[in-house]
């Protein structure tokens, strides 16, 4: 099922009429902020995982102390 450019333009005009440009601008800004924070959280999680791997600990669901003893 293909959507042509004219159909997309009609949908865009309907959305602008229903919500208005100010509301759409706010939604776009909020969505951009959410994506930015999601990317930052993913990057932070990857950095934490790399740090943990370099310390010799594994993230296998076990809680370990610094001496790698099971608690």
Looking at the predicted structure, is the pLDDT value of residue 59 above 70?
Answer: no
Supply the pLDDT for residue 45: 84
Residue 25 falls within a domain, yes or no?
yes
Residue 32 falls within a domain, yes or no?
yes
Beta bridge partners of 70: 64
Find the domain containing 32 and state its range. Answer: 20-44
11/20 Cα distance (integer angstroms): 13
* Contact (Cβ atoms closer than 8 angstroms) between residue 58 and residue 70: no
Residue whose pair of structure tokens reads 């950095």 in the numeric block: 47
Its sign, for the CA torsion 65, 68, 69, 71, is positive
Supply the pLDDT for residue 32: 94
Residue 62 falls within a domain, yes or no?
no
8-48 pLDDT tens trace: 999 999 999 998 988 988 998 999 999 999 999 999 888 87
At 56, give phi and psi (nearest 5°). Answer: 90, 0
Residue 36 falls within a domain, yes or no?
yes
Write down the pTM of the prediction: 0.49
């Amino acid at each position: 099922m293909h959507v042509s450019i004219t159909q997309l333009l009609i949908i865009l005009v309907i959305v602008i009429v229903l919500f208005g440009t100010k509301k759409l601008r706010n939604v776009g800004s909020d969505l951009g902020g959410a994506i930015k924070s999601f990317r930052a959280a993913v990057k932070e999680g990857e950095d934490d995982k790399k740090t943990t791997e370099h310390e010799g600990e594994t993230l296998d669901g076990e809680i370990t102390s610094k001496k790698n003893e099971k608690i």
